[in-house]
Amino acid sequence: MKRILSSAIQVFKQIKSDPMMFAACFTPFIMGALIKFGIPFFERITKFSLQGYYPIFDLLLSIMAPVLLCFAFAMITLEEIDDKVSRYFSITPLGKAGYLFTRLVVPAIISAVIAFIVLLLFSLEKLPTSMMIGLALLGSVQAIIVSLMIITLSGNKLEGMAVTKLSA
């Protein structure tokens, strides 16, 4: 567990050094605030009701937090593949399984927690807690799938960003 934590901390340091990936980690909160306060403001100004679409906005919130965090982890993984560093992780104490765990499962767990918090704070409808937990978990599963797509279909970081745009 100590090795996995150390590897995850190292990835967060790499994310912190890249402004775009660092911003991607906070975008769900900005987007949540825009949806929570912007949609009702827009409705008051235009006298046009979007209330029928509130569940779709909530679904968007539950998906974007996990996808953006896992995108950052996938970009770090692509960078390690480009630098040919990923080949050597199998001989480290972390091993291949630990490497994959820190690149796929750790961000999914963290993103599920973040998605739950975003839904709790910025949801337009009053959702039951069980539904918010379910949406957060499903969003993190989708984020794992998107991460795997990005890593598999991309040869470098630029292609990874293009695949991310197509998959999202």
Asked if residue 86 has pLDDT above 80, the reply is no
Give residue-wise pLDDT tens across range 1-47: 777 777 778 778 888 888 888 888 889 999 999 999 999 999 999 98
Asked if residue 168 has pLDDT above 70, the reply is no
Q: What's the total number of domains in the chain?
A: 1
Instruction: Give 86-89 contacts, CB < 8 A, sequence gap 24+.
Output: none
Phi and psi for 156 in degrees, rounded to 5? Answer: -155, 180
Q: What is the mean pLDDT of residues 57-77?
A: 87
Query: 72 is written with which tokens?
Result: 């950052």
- Of residues 112 and 88, the one with the higher pLDDT is 112
SS (H, E, C) the chain: CHHHHHHHHHHHHHHHHCHHHHHHHHHHHHHHHHHHHHHHHHHHHHCCCCHHHHHHHHHHHHHHHHHHHHHHHHHHHHHHHHCCCHHHHHHCCCHHHHHHHHHHHHHHHHHHHHHHHHHHHHCCCCCCHHHHHHHHHHHHHHHHHHHHHHHHHCCCHHHHHHHHHHHC
Give residue-wise pLDDT tens across range 114-138: 999 999 999 999 889 999 999 999 9
Asked if residue 90 has pLDDT above 90, the reply is no
Asked if residue 67 has pLDDT above 90, the reply is no
Global pTM?
0.85
Residue 72: predicted pLDDT: 84
User: How many whole angstroms separate alpha carbon 7 and alpha carbon 2?
Assistant: 9
Q: How far is CA 161 from CA 78, 95, 108, 114, in A?
A: 10, 27, 19, 22
Give residue-wise pLDDT tens across range 93-121: 777 777 788 888 888 898 999 999 999 99
What residues make up the domain containing 70? 2-167
